[in-house]
Amino acid sequence: MAKGALLFWNCKLNFIVVNSISALKDIRACIVDLDGTLIDTLGDFEVALNAMMAELGRPSVNSSDIARWVGKGSEHLIKTVLLNSFKGTEALGDAAVEELMPAAWKHYQATYLRINGQHSAVFHGAQEGLAALQARGLPLACLTNKPLDFALPLLEAKGLSGYFSHVFGGDSFPRKKPDPLPLIETCKALGTAPFQTLMIGDSANDAQAARAAGCPVVLTTYGYNHGEPVEAVDADGWVSSLVDIEAWMGETAGRNWKS
Model confidence pLDDT, tens digit, residues 128-158: 999 999 999 999 999 999 999 999 999 999 9
Cα separation, 132 vs 134, in Å, equals: 5
Q: What average pLDDT score do residues 98-122 get?
A: 97
Cα separation, 80 vs 20, in Å, equals: 35
Domain identity same for 66 and 170? no
Cα separation, 2 vs 238, in Å, equals: 11
How much is the pTM? 0.88
The parent domain of residue 10 ranges over 6-40+121-252
Q: Is 171 annotated for ligand binding?
A: no
Q: Is 33 annotated for ligand binding?
A: yes
Domain identity same for 10 and 23? yes
Number of domains in the chain: 2
Give residue 22's pLDDT band: very low, low, confident or very high (50, 70, 90): low
Q: Is 35 annotated for ligand binding?
A: yes
With vertex at residue 188, the alpha carbon angle to CA 184 and CA 190, rounded to the nearest 5 degrees, is: 115
Cα separation, 238 vs 229, in Å, equals: 11
Residue pair 139/29 in contact by the 8 Å Cβ criterion: yes
Sign of CA dihedral 189, 238, 42, 71: positive
Domain identity same for 134 and 155? yes
- Please give the positions annotated as active site: 33
Q: Which residue has the higher pLDDT, 17 or 226?
A: 226
Range with the poorest average pLDDT among 50-54, 116-120, 138-142, 233-237: 233-237
Domain identity same for 200 and 234? yes
